Amino acid sequence: MHHTNRATAFVLALLIIPFATAVAQDAAAGLKAFPDFMSVRSEFLSLAITADPTRALAFQTAYRESPSGRVRVSVVQDSAAFHVQFQLQRDGDYPLATRGNIIVDRQYKTGYITRIAWCLNDDGQSWILLTPNNERTIVDYIIAGTVVRGNYRVSSLIYVFLTNPFTYLYDATRAGIDWSPVIGGSGTSGSPAVSASLSADMAGHLLAGRLDAAALALLHGAVDFSRIGEYLGIIGADASVQPVEEVAPKGTQMLSLEGGMPAKLVPARTYRPDRGLPVESVAAVLAGGAATGSVYIGILEGVAGSLPQKLVFVPYFDASGGYRIAVVDATTRQSVELTATLAQRAGGYMRLFRLPAPFARQ
């Protein structure tokens, strides 16, 4: 019996080690791809971030080249505080909500740093907020507008995060934060890389209108739920697999934005058995699906007597490891812009059903 247990443990180790190695390799690649410009932050630390407020407020906008692209450094004022902003160039402009951007909030009177906001995704809804707390830093981690981990305390001064690369932030928080929506490196369906690749393939097919058998069956299942078995059969899912309704938002707080900037955290609405998930909580659930190898069917409430909108969602990772969500109207087969659609239905609800992605296809 003793030898049998040892043999079983050895076989399990052989199976687990390659998977764990693949996950670590994917995470390492995602970390390397995350836009960082520590040298630029370091150059302007004493000129704008720690400078006396009078001097910082007189700072003239500057531009620097970095391995991640051209960076604009500026100081912006509002009634409550002033902000040192590091913004990466995208298509000739410097949008506020760009993956890798950093906003440092400072008090007018004392010059103290009150918060650092680090943008994690180009959707403008994903941030990590760092707030000083004596010799510690409080971390609020936000994915697609939902605070998925809040009030996480790290034993590090807030200034240290500005003088170290992004990997330092990752290492300091990874024990309590799931970074997979930001850098990839996770998955449950075979190899993470293979699962992510197949999800990205399906997303591309749907958005381009080049529907293979699985994509077409998924659309049919969204229009007529009684046909969902066709999709499950095509991907080779076990006979026991059925759609699972998502009934739990990823967090109890949401991020409120003002002018595209993180403003405050507000309470999140909860799931209603008669209506589903609040629309503002849907995106965070979908973003998590990129790491778990999932696709989704959503039934979005109609307004003013209109019929519900039936949607297909395919979350996937892009080349840099950041999550993306392909959305298609199952009836019209036209692509849909997720953020705008959910904003139009603010206050509404959606029934959201999770299915396995087509990982079984060869």
Alpha-helical regions (H) of the chain: 2-33, 38-43, 53-57, 158-162, 166-173, 180-183, 192-208, 213-223, 228-234, 279-292, 338-344
How much of the chain is in helix, strand and coil states, percent to nearest 5?
35, 30, 35
Band of the pLDDT at 164, cuts 50, 70, 90?
A: very high
What is the rounded distance in angstroms from the CA atom of residue 29 to the CA atom of residue 180? Answer: 12
Query: Average of pLDDT values for 261-272?
Result: 93
Token pair of 33 as six digits? 């791809």
What are 218-233's pLDDT values in tens digits? 999 999 999 999 999 9
Q: Mind giving me the DSSP string for 260-310?
A: TEEEEEEEPP--BTTTBEEHHHHHHHHHHHHHHTEEEEEEEPPSTTPPPEE
Distance between CA atoms of 120 and 66, rounded to whole angstroms? 18
- Predicted confidence at residue 361, as pLDDT, reads 40
What's the CA gap between 138 and 115, in Å, rounded? 9
Q: Check residues 12 and 244 and name the one with the higher pLDDT.
A: 244
Yes or no: say if 66 and 39 are a contact pair by the CB < 8 Å rule. Answer: yes
Q: Decide: 199 and 186 in contact? Cβ < 8 Å.
A: no
Rounded distance between C-alpha atoms, residue 221 and residue 230, angstroms: 8
pLDDT digits (tens, 9 = 90+) for 95-148: 998 999 999 999 999 999 999 999 999 999 999 999 999 999 999 999 999 999
pLDDT exceeds cutoff 90 at 172: yes
Give the DSSP letter string of 44-92.
Answer: TIIIIISS-HHHHHTPPPEEEEETTEEEEEEEEE-SS-EEEEEEE-BTT
pTM of the predicted model as reported, rounded to 2 decimal places: 0.86
Secondary structure (3-state) at 292:
helix
Give the Cα separation of 104 and 301 in Å (integer).
Answer: 39
pLDDT band at residue 261 under the 50/70/90 scheme: confident
Rounded to an integer, what distance in angstroms lies between the CA atom of residue 33 and that of residue 286? Answer: 22
For residue 240, the 8-state DSSP code is T
Bridge partners of 77? Answer: 82
Angle, nearest 10°, between helix axes 192-208 and 2-33? 50
d(CA 149, CA 164): 22
